[in-house]
Amino acid sequence: MKARKIRDGVYWMGAIDWERRLFDSLIPLPDGTSYNAYLVQGSEKTALLDAVDPAMANILMSQLESVPHIDYLVAHHAEQDHSGSIPRVIEKYPDAQVIASPKGKGMLVDHLLIPEDRIVTVDDGETLSLGGKTLEFIHTPWVHWPETMVTYLQEERILFSCDFFGSHVATTDLYVRDEPRVYEAAKRYYAEIMMPFRKVIRKNMEKLEGREIDLIAPSHGPIYDRPTFIQDAYRSWVLDKPRNVVVLPYISMHGSTREMVDYLVGALAERGVTVYRFDLAVTDIGKLAITLVDAATIVIGAPTVNVGPHPVVAYAAYLANVLRPKLQFASIIGSYGWNSKVVERIAGLIPDLKVELLDPVVCKGRPGEADFAALDRLAESIAAKHKEHGFD
Ligand code: FEO
């Protein structure tokens, strides 16, 4: 794809990665992604904002063939999907300076071996005039690394946000044209990399208030020409209060744990609780992450393998712990063959969730009447807790 004009002197550059299906060797990308860079040309100077994943550097380099000179390369973030091809770009433009936050400078040196004397740091709020186009650098740490910053192009009221507000979508649309599709992709993206930092993200959003923003141009996914769409979504995702939702990831080896899951899902539904149920043998963990954004409770369905949880369940519990959603309650249900320490082992995997553990229901072999009664009590307890806290 060639460079695309956004405004006079402002261009989208970068690469659409239609075929990528996994990020960080972890995160499923059902719709691919993009690595957006942006060229801003003032009357005196030219800046390139971010670069692309090194696997797609040739595409950016071919777009830059028609750009004779670059003065600055703004590196908002040192992660390689944006910074990895900076060494090639600055090799082509030997006079260009790389601009980064102070933390970003060290990380660019560490990750990419960029010579220190090629990097200039900018303070929070510092501005740089390109001639009729003023770049304002705003430090926004922890979206989602400590060095991250964004750039506000004052005259055009464009926020170049890098990962912040991004979505993993490969599309020919320069601007968002299918909001429901982008909403889900942005929520998946938020869940997988931003959610652990939601409190600091809230502060970063407050910091951006007061600036008129006509466009949000992220480094993944299409540009938001209706910025309130993604700003409102983020505002709801970073709230402390969860919703009346249970997420229930499980595995069943011989059907007993599934019987318990079936029963509990029905018991919760009867009590007006929304349940998202995931058979971990086949589920897309991105979907699981999306539902964790709003959930109040997680119930983990775990059969026992050699006294501990089934390894696939252990992985899901560990992942939930890493993503640190705003969950407030947790419980464990499952069946075992001859002995089990599944409750202690799973509880040990989720120390960062800071949840109240509700009475687990673990049974030997197939569940019986007493076990179903215990599942009813668990459903009642969850519904009551949600109601008491005003989760709706
Ligand atoms: Fe898109 Fe954190 O890199």
Q: How far is the CA of 79 from the centre of ligand 1 (A)?
A: 5
For residue 386, whether the previous peptide bond is cis, meaning omega lies within 30 degrees of 0, is: no
Give dist(CA 329, CA 66) in Å, integer: 57
Quick one: pLDDT at residue 144?
Answer: 96
Q: How far is the CA of 25 from the centre of ligand 1 (A)?
A: 13
Q: How far is the CA of 156 from the centre of ligand 1 (A)?
A: 25
CA angle (91 as vertex; 58, 32 as ends), nearest 5: 30
Q: State residue 170 phi and psi, 5-degree precision.
A: -95, 120
Cα-based distances in Å from 302 to 36, 179, 362: 41, 36, 9
Q: Which amino acid is at 217?
A: A
For residue 345, the Cα-to-chain-centroid distance in whole angstroms is 27
Q: How far is the CA of 170 from the centre of ligand 1 (A)?
A: 15
Quick one: pLDDT at residue 383?
Answer: 98
Residue-wise pLDDT for 153-212, tens only, equals 999 999 999 999 999 999 999 999 999 999 999 999 999 999 999 999 999 999 999 899
Residue 60, both tokens: 């950016």
pLDDT value at 248 more than 90: yes
The CB density around residue 292, as the number of other CB atoms within 10 Å, is 24
Report the nearest atom of ligand 1 relative to the CA of 220: 1
Report the nearest atom of ligand 1 relative to the CA of 35: 1
List of residues 6+ apart from 354 with CB closer than 8 A? none
pLDDT value at 261 more than 90: yes
List of residues 6+ apart from 203 with CB closer than 8 A? none
Q: How far is the CA of 176 from the centre of ligand 1 (A)?
A: 20
Residue 27 banded pLDDT, cuts 50, 70, 90: confident
The CB density around residue 193, as the number of other CB atoms within 10 Å, is 21
Average pLDDT over the chain, rounded to whole? Answer: 97
Report the nearest atom of ligand 1 relative to the CA of 219: 1
List of residues 6+ apart from 318 with CB closer than 8 A? 349, 350
What pTM was computed for the model?
A: 0.96
Cα-based distances in Å from 369 to 29, 115, 376: 43, 69, 11
CA angle (179 as vertex; 176, 181 as ends), nearest 5: 105
pLDDT value at 318 more than 90: yes
Residue 301, both tokens: 């369905």
pLDDT value at 25 more than 90: no
- 238 in Cβ contact with 184 (< 8 Å): no
**Ligand 1 pocket at CB < 6 A:** 77, 79, 81-82, 144, 163, 219-220
Report the nearest atom of ligand 1 relative to the CA of 144: 2
pLDDT, mean of residues 375-381: 98
The CB density around residue 178, as the number of other CB atoms within 10 Å, is 12
- 77 in Cβ contact with 162 (< 8 Å): yes
Give dist(CA 12, CA 21) in Å, integer: 23
Quick one: pLDDT at residue 153?
Answer: 98
pLDDT value at 23 more than 90: no
Q: How far is the CA of 82 from the centre of ligand 1 (A)?
A: 7
Q: Which residues of 7-40 are buried (b: 16+ CB within 10 A; e: fewer)?
A: eebbbbbbbbbeebeebeeebbbebbbbbbbbbb
**Residue with CA closest to ligand 1 atom 2:** 79
Residue with tokens 């082992």: 345
Q: How far is the CA of 236 from the centre of ligand 1 (A)?
A: 22
- 358 in Cβ contact with 329 (< 8 Å): yes
Q: How far is the CA of 35 from the centre of ligand 1 (A)?
A: 9
Quick one: pLDDT at residue 149?
Answer: 98
Report the nearest atom of ligand 1 relative to the CA of 162: 1
CA angle (182 as vertex; 177, 188 as ends), nearest 5: 175
pLDDT value at 26 more than 90: no
**Residue with CA closest to ligand 1 atom 3:** 79
List of residues 6+ apart from 105 with CB closer than 8 A? 116, 119, 121
**Residue with CA closest to ligand 1 atom 1:** 163
The three state secondary structure string of 90-117 is HHHCCCCEEEECHHHHHHHHHHHCCCHH
Percent share of the chain, pLDDT over 90? 98
Report the nearest atom of ligand 1 relative to the CA of 166: 1
pLDDT value at 263 more than 90: yes
